[in-house]
Structure 1
């Protein structure tokens, strides 16, 4: 009997020790497992052949689309004859698939950077559009708006009258977007001309091989570490990545910086909240209202103000003059002048800014830093105003920035990529967490049960002795 009790007690003691060790192993696996996950993510985030990041970075599998809404002017004759506000309605979307070509001239450099060129192309997608590329739109005459802004008005008037040009013109969607031969300037004009068969770059970005916190950060663009459009050290900085990915392990308290060649400057997104995207938790980052705020509100924007007349001595919010970058008198804004000065909406009828529909956002997976969904929304505008020298502008009463179109460049990971991410990365993380929790629970339960058994046995022995 004594031997049997001793044997049972030994087994209970052994069980409690084993349970404690199993529980301790589960606890130890938490930091060890996290370290393994962190190292794995860091290895797979480096931009070099064979890593998940490189495959994603160089892939064209996820389709990127540009949707265009063109503003159709309803009262062009009334604007010219009486100086009335232009009344516009938006027509769209007209959708094109873009970024469907692989990066070119990918070259690994010595300073842990990799260079490449981004080819540009656009394929019309009829099934995702409201009409065809041959639909007509009445818009501002690009040539007239150009000579109004760029050359002496007396000379401009001569050109306009000799060619019998008008302030507004009727063009097809294809012509307005991609180019047509202008009868006044005898050259090809278009909002995005030239685009097809052109390249953005070259870019040089850090691979993250020596410092993962710099992965995908732009080292230089077109051979320079800064731009020279703004003639200011702050505004000419190239900050962050191109927006397609960021260093892993995001801190939602810190903004994400990225450079956009479309607007010739760097911007940043602030954490807005978490979203569920095909079963994956992502952080949503949006541009703050201060991005295009006037220098009176955001002093950092002072160096972006290069056109004092068009911006009311830099007091106007919501627009960015990119003439110093593109050579064309074009102003960038958010769609429908979202977050813009009231003056912009007072001289154009039919605009309805909406904070949900017209804002730019990035949805970034916080562990890997991959951008899994984004919507880049911008509006293209050109200006005209009163002029004594230009006859067709004699009746115009107000300086007007007229929207030509707004675009939504968007992409979202497909189901196949989502399943692969969930299986290869998040599935392993979840499995490790299950193992950790199981070891802790099983070990703790075994230890507690055995200790209870020891206590019960000890109590029974005392009763027998008594």
Structure 2
């Protein structure tokens, strides 16, 4: 410090003033203190903001990665989901077929499960394009099914069941409204081809992927060269066509080795099969024969880049904004709903999920039921169809009645009671203008009119086994489980003009297969990835907020200490009078 002598303006005394010196009292230090105060205040404010709103800000940052952008991680996970889907099938074995032909009640025995690994390829052979509208993409899926021996109850090649003869009964159904000699000629021709009886005994594999029956190829010309047959359970093994009456006799079937080849650029054309066609110059027909490998109808949906809330919404099916199956101009015939594997993030609990399911020929509305807990402490919201989702608009039971389903009833087609949808309109083709006599319901007629359950024996509807459900991680829109469950039934009507149909019940809706698709658990990789995505906004917002508060507090505290110290130091300075 320095002593400075000064003379007062009045008086005779002389005073000496003590002035501080050194770097702690310099102008630079005072400026640093001021800047520290400002920065500390800013950091404190930012810390409070981050703790209060940082979670939302970081969540929006995570959500910005959700659209299906080419080359992004989300796009790749959509192409190759980190979870393994399965198709699980159960057949209904008719134990008294002769009695059913005579008008008695069918007695059914459920046989299964038979489980098939399901692989969907969306980008094979350039069959995926991002459209010029900047909002949608179009893809044509191919599905591949491979038997999962470990999860199946037995060998489907050697498990034989008695089921309705679908090709025969479908062909006869098309003649129902005809009369006279022309009908007689057609019926005789139909009965002379194929197996010729209302019920047949085939393997479970045969029912799904193909068995010998000449009737479906009646109007086809056999090829000049017949390819080597390909297995329906594996694309590189021959199917064992040996018939056996006993279930599960061969235990060695589980030791068969099946491999899955690279599917994106494979020789699809040599694997594709129509529902009915020639194999080694022998006609084969299978319920799902045309669904394995064959390129399906194109789906145009929103990718979410322009509007994330629209992600997964189907805009067109088979290159059309309408289905051309149901009442023209109605909501039933309007393409829409979510693509089942692609849902938008941020779905609220009270929102309905509108799902488009091409296999069911319709959309289905799902609503929140309850929360479910999954690995990694993930909380999912379970969405299920309402009790009246498949309800008839004429049902006297108000709990089942659904006026919105009126547009699924077309003139010329039978409109069935609640819980069962006549699928004939969506199964029409040039060769079958009246459609196949198939009906869709939930398994075991769950939530259907009691009439259907009372018409057969052996069914027992259960909510846990037979309900359609989707478990959704709402923050990101990821399905943790999705189980579309459906039952296929054949509509058999009595026809007095056809002897083999003349003693059936007036109308019998006969179940022959029920199946569930999708998956019931997320994979470990999927669960951990979702957990990480949920934790980042919460943990990082807390960490960043605390760091900012700590830094701001330290800067303010340091400035306050300097100010107090400097004030105290200055208070000790005094002016000393000189005598």
Q: Which has the higher helix share?
A: 1
1:278 corresponds to 2:309: no
Residue 341 of structure 2: which of 244, 247, 263 is its match? 244
Consecutive unaligned residues of structure 1, counting only runs of 5 or more, are 1-16, 447-466
The one of 141, 146, 152 equivalent to 2:170 is: 146
Measured in 1, the distance between the counterparts of 2:138 and 2:87 equals: 25
The Cα shift of 1:404 comes to 1.0
Shift of 1:93: 0.6
> Matches of 2:144 and 2:346 in 1, distance apart?
33
Match of 1:324 among 414, 421, 425: 425
Deviations 1:292-337, CA, capped at 9 Å, x for gaps: 00112111100112377744xx5x1011122221232211110011
Identify the residue that residue 67 of structure 1 maps to in structure 2: 88
Aligned to 1:178: 209
Aligned pair 1:203/2:299, yes or no?
yes
Aligned residue in 1 for 2:564: none
Tell me if 1:350 matches 2:458. yes
> Structure 1 residue 24: deviation in Å?
5.0
Q: Is the 8 A contact 1:27 1:436 kept in 2?
A: no
Larger Rg: 2
Report if the CA contact (8 A) 2:301-2:315 is conserved: yes
Structure 2 partner of 1:99: 119
> C-alpha distance in 2, partners of 1:336/1:227?
28
Contact preservation (8 Å) 2:489, 2:510: yes
Q: Is the aligned partner of 1:58 residue 2:79?
A: yes
Q: Is the 8 A contact 1:256 1:268 kept in 2?
A: yes
1:417 and 2:447 equivalent? no
Contact (CA 8 Å) 2:79, 2:121: kept in 1 or not?
no
Q: Which runs of 5+ in 2 are unaligned?
A: 1-37, 219-275, 277-284, 395-400, 429-435, 555-579
TM-score (norm 1): 0.84
| Distance in 2 of aligned mates of 1:30 and 1:50 | 33
Alpha-carbon deviation of 1:174? 1.2
Structure 1 counterpart of 2:317:
221
**What is the CA–CA distance in structure 1 between the aligned matches of 2:123 and 2:483, rounded to whole Å?**
21
TM-score by length of 2: 0.69
Shift of 1:35: 3.9
Distance 1:307 1:165, change over 3 A: farther
Instruction: Indicate the larger mover: 224-233 or 376-385.
Output: 224-233
SS at match of 1:357: helix
CA distance in 2, matches of 1:248, 1:416: 19
| TM-aligned CA deviation for residue 185 of structure 1 | 4.2
The 8 Å contact of residues 310 and 399 in structure 1, kept in 2 or not, is answered as no
Contact 1:37 1:429 in 2 (8 A): yes
What's 1:11 paired with? none
Deviations 1:209-234 (A, max 9, x none): 22111112112121112211103321
Q: Is the 8 A contact 2:67 2:75 kept in 1?
A: yes
Alpha-carbon separation, structure 1, partners of 2:450 and 2:342 = 35
Measured on the aligned residues, the alpha-carbon RMSD in Å equals 3.1
Query: Quick check: 1:45–1:51 contact (8 Å CA) kept in 2?
Result: no
- 27 and 180 in structure 1: CA distance in 2 versus 1, 3 angstrom threshold: same
**In 1, are the aligned partners of 2:172 and 2:190 still within 8 Å (CA)?**
no
Question: 2:248 is matched with which residue?
Answer: none
Structure 2 match to 1:301: 405
C-alpha separation in 1, matches of 2:408 and 2:513:
22
1:97 and 1:84 mapped to 2: Cα distance? 38
Deviations 1:389-415 (A, max 9, x none): 111122223311101100010223211
Contact 1:286 1:361 in 2 (8 A): yes
